[in-house]
C-alpha cells in the first residue's frame, strides 16, 4: 500500500500547478489556493496575533498543554507561503505534541530580503520568552525554507545571548542557499516538486547581492555549537536530500545531539500529506515524540507562568 501511496503522491505533485521558481505574485496565489482547498478539522482554532511586532497565527487543538509552545516556520523558498497557509501542518504537529503552535508570518522576499526573515524569527521568540514561556517549554519546527530558517534563528539566538529552546525539528530543510549539494542534480529527475533552477531564483530574491554562503542564510555553513537537540527528516526523492544529510553531519561535528531520518521514496515535505501517505503519518508521530522528550525534560512550569504565557 505504501508504494502505491508514494506513486500517487508523486503523480499529484508532478502534475500540480505550482512552480516554485515562477512569477512570485502568480505562484503565491496558486500556493494559497492549493492550501485553502484542504479543509481544516473542525476542532482546530487559528487566531491572528503578534509577537515582537511580527504577525503570527496561534494554532490550538483539543487537550493541549498551555505551558508548551511550538514556534513554527512555514516553507515557500523565502518568497511564497504564509503563517495562515501553514495552519494545517502546524496543527497536525501541535495535536500530536499536545501543545500550541505559533506560526510566524515572517517577511518575504524580494520585498524584504535577508536578514528580514531571521530578524522576525528572533523577534518572535524573544517576545514569546517575554510573555513568560520558558525556553525549556518551546520547540522550533520548520519545513523547507522554514526548516533552514529555524536553524539559522537558533544560531542568531546564540549570537544574541538568548537561551536556546528545548529542541528543533525540521522537515526537508533548505539549509544551503548555494544549492551546491550533489542531490541538487543527482535527485532532480526524482523530485516532483523542486528544481535547482527554482531554488537559485528564489535564493537571489532572498539574498540580493549577499553571498549565499553567508552562515545565517546557509546554516549548513554556520557554527552550530551550543544548539539544542535537532531532528532532521527528509525524503530520498528530493533535491534537498544533501542539505539534510550535510546539516546533520555538520551539527554532529559541532557536538549537537542530532537525529537524521531519511524516508525512502518520498518527496519534499512529505509530512504535509499525512492523510494520503502512511509514511507521513509515521514521520509526524516520530517528530512529535522527539519534541515531547525535550519539552518534558524540565517538567511543567508554575501555573502563574502558564497563565501568563497563554495571555
**Per-residue pLDDT at 37:** 87
* Residue 109: Cβ within 10 Å count: 23
The residue annotated as part of the active site, out of 74, 268, 272, 309, is 268
The residue annotated as part of the active site, out of 144, 167, 172, 183, is 144
144 catalytic per annotation:
yes
The three cell numbers of residue 137 are 517549554
Phi, psi of 103 (to 5 degrees): -90, 125
**Per-residue pLDDT at 311:** 37
**Number of structural domains the chain divides into:** 1
Q: How many angstroms separate the CA atoms of 28 and 136, rounded?
A: 35
- Domain limits for position 205: 2-310
Q: What is the CATH number of the domain that holds 268?
A: 3.40.50.1820
Query: For the residues 269-297, what does the mean pLDDT come to?
Result: 94
33 catalytic per annotation:
no
Predicted confidence (pLDDT) per residue in 67-90, tens digit: 999 999 999 999 999 999 999 999
**Per-residue pLDDT at 296:** 72
Predicted confidence (pLDDT) per residue in 228-239, tens digit: 999 999 999 999
**Per-residue pLDDT at 308:** 39
Examine the pLDDT at 306 and tell me if it is beyond 70: no
For residue 142, list its beta bridge partners: 73, 170
pLDDT band at 1 (very low <50, low <70, confident <90, very high): low
Predicted confidence (pLDDT) per residue in 169-216, tens digit: 999 999 999 999 999 999 999 999 999 999 999 999 999 999 999 999
Q: How many angstroms separate the CA atoms of 174 and 138, rounded?
A: 22
Predicted confidence (pLDDT) per residue in 115-131, tens digit: 999 999 999 999 999 99
238 catalytic per annotation:
yes
Examine the pLDDT at 297 and tell me if it is beyond 60: no
The residue annotated as part of the active site, out of 238, 250, 272, 309, is 238
Examine the pLDDT at 309 and tell me if it is beyond 90: no
The three cell numbers of residue 69 are 509552545
Computed over every residue of the chain, the mean pLDDT equals 94
DSSP secondary structure string for all residues of 287-304? HHHHHHHHHTSS----HH
DSSP-derived secondary structure letter, 21: T
**Per-residue pLDDT at 158:** 98
Amino acid at each position: 500500500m505504501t508504494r502505491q501511496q508514494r506513486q500517487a503522491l508523486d503523480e499529484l505533485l508532478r502534475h500540480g500547478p505550482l512552480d516554485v521558481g515562477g512569477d512570485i505574485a502568480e505562484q503565491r496565489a496558486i500556493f494559497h489556493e492549493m492550501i485553502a482547498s484542504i479543509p481544516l478539522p473542525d476542532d482546530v482554532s487559528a487566531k491572528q496575533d503578534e509577537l515582537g511586532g511580527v504577525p503570527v497565527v496561534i494554532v490550538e487543538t483539543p487537550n493541549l498543554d498551555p505551558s508548551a509552545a511550538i514556534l513554527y516556520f512555514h516553507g515557500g523558498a523565502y518568497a511564497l507561503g504564509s503563517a495562515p497557509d501553514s495552519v494545517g501542518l502546524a496543527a497536525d504537529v501541535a495535536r500530536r505534541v499536545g501543545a500550541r503552535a505559533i506560526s510566524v508570518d515572517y517577511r518575504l522576499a524580494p520585498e524584504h530580503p535577508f536578514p528580514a526573515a531571521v530578524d522576525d524569527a528572533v523577534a518572535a521568540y524573544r517576545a514569546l520568552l517575554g510573555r513568560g514561556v520558558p525556553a525549556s517549554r518551546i520547540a522550533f519546527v520548520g519545513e523547507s525554507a522554514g526548516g533552514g530558517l529555524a536553524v539559522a534563528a537558533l544560531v542568531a539566538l546564540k549570537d544574541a545571548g538568548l537561551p536556546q529552546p528545548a529542541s528543533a525539528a525540521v522537515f526537508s530543510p533548505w539549509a544551503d542557499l548555494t544549492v551546491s549539494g550533489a542531490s541538487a542534480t543527482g535527485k532532480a529527475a526524482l523530485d516532483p516538486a523542486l528544481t535547482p533552477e527554482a531554488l537559485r531564483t528564489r535564493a537571489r530574491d532572498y539574498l540580493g547581492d549577499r553571498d549565499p554562503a553567508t552562515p545565517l542564510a546557509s546554516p549548513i555553513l554556520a557554527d552550530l555549537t551550543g544548539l539544542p537537540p535537532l531532528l532532521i527528516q527528509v525524503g530520498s526523492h528530493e533535491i534537498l536530500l544533501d542539505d539534510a544529510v550535510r546539516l546533520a553531519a555538520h551539527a554532529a561535528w559541532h557536538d549537537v545531539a542530532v537525529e537524521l531520518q531519511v524516508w525512502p521514496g518520498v518527496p519534499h515535505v512529505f509530512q504535509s500529506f499525512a492523510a494520503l501517505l502512511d509514511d507521513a503519518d509515521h514521520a509526524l508521530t516520530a517528530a512529535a515524540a522527539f519534541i515531547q522528550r525535550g519539552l518534558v525534560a524540565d517538567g511543567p512550569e508554575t501555573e502563574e507562568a502558564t497563565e501568563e504565557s497563554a495571555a
